[in-house]
A = this chain, B = another copy of it.
Amino acid sequence: MSEIDVPESHPRYQSLLTRHRIEAGVEKGITSKQGLIAEGRGEAFDYLLGERTIESADEAARAAAALLLLADRPVLSVNGNVAALVPGETVELAAAVDADVEVNLFNRTDERMTAIVGHLREHGAEEAGVEIKGLTADARIPGLEHERSKVDADGIGAADVVLVPLEDGDRAEALAEMGKSEIVIDLNPLSRSARAAAVPIVDNILRAVPNITQHAEALRGASREELEAIVADFDPEAALSAAEDAIRSGDLE
């Protein structure tokens, strides 16, 4: 990848790439002030986790892939940091599991919505046949204040399975109450978002999204029964405990 001037073998490659993408996101009007602070929180948790995908997070990514493949109407929700950090990876996942992408922002403005939709298109959404939703905003999530409740009726409004990476707690809980099966990517295993999820993935989004795609590709030939067994065998409580344990006991140095 020639996106940054550092070889992939560099020990800080991933964190340098993350920093580069987040700063480019600020320049493009995609990443907000809140998004920069959230990025820092994620960095600290990832540091404590050892900046690696732990085994329970890999199992969660596999369960997420199975859930997305089983879904009738899967949607991948994208906010400013997701768009800045993994635009191409999100489009690839959507193509792999035949999901729509829907842009949803905590601080929703027309400028940011347009910038993010444009950014996803630049990263191959149309070529991959992936539909980008979020601009219609003709449905509401019950129990949230007006701007935060907006979704597309035929997007998240009608979805049965939703991937909500880096989501805030209120919204993750409200979506779960609507009966959606939620897949959450969050580096804090005790966040309300992670605890609201059917499948919580405690991992850096830069590692988690391509990992779900890989699992989805490996599971493409699996039967419905096999996929259902993978989902049924996944234990979200155990995954969160394992992640907490890794954060508590990992080698910090």
Binding site for B on A (CB under 8 A): 19, 22-23, 26, 33, 36-45, 47-48, 188, 190, 244, 248-249, 252-253
Contact = CB atoms under 8 A, between A and B. Distances in A.
Contacts of A38: 40
Nearest to A19: B37
Q: How many copies does the complex hold?
A: 2
A45 B19 CA distance: 19
Contacts of A40: 36-44
A89 to B, nearest CB: 21
B190 A253 contact: yes
A-B complex: 9 closest residue pairs judged by Cβ atoms: A40-B40, A44-B44, A36-B36, A37-B40, A40-B41, A41-B44, A190-B252, A248-B248, A41-B43
A200 to B, nearest CB: 15
A202 to B, nearest CB: 13
Contacts of A188: 44, 47
Contacts of A190: 252-253
B252 A249 contact: no
A33 B40 CA distance: 10
Contacts of A39: 37, 40
A29 B48 CA distance: 31
A43 B40 CA distance: 8
A249 B26 CA distance: 36
Nearest to A27: B33
A145 B26 CA distance: 27
29 contacts: A19-B37, A22-B37, A23-B33, A26-B33, A36-B36, A36-B37, A36-B40, A37-B37, A37-B40, A37-B43, A39-B40, A40-B40, A40-B41, A40-B43, A40-B44, A41-B41, A41-B43, A41-B44, A41-B47, A42-B44, A43-B44, A44-B188, A47-B188, A48-B48, A190-B252, A190-B253, A244-B252, A248-B248, A248-B249
Nearest to A250: B248
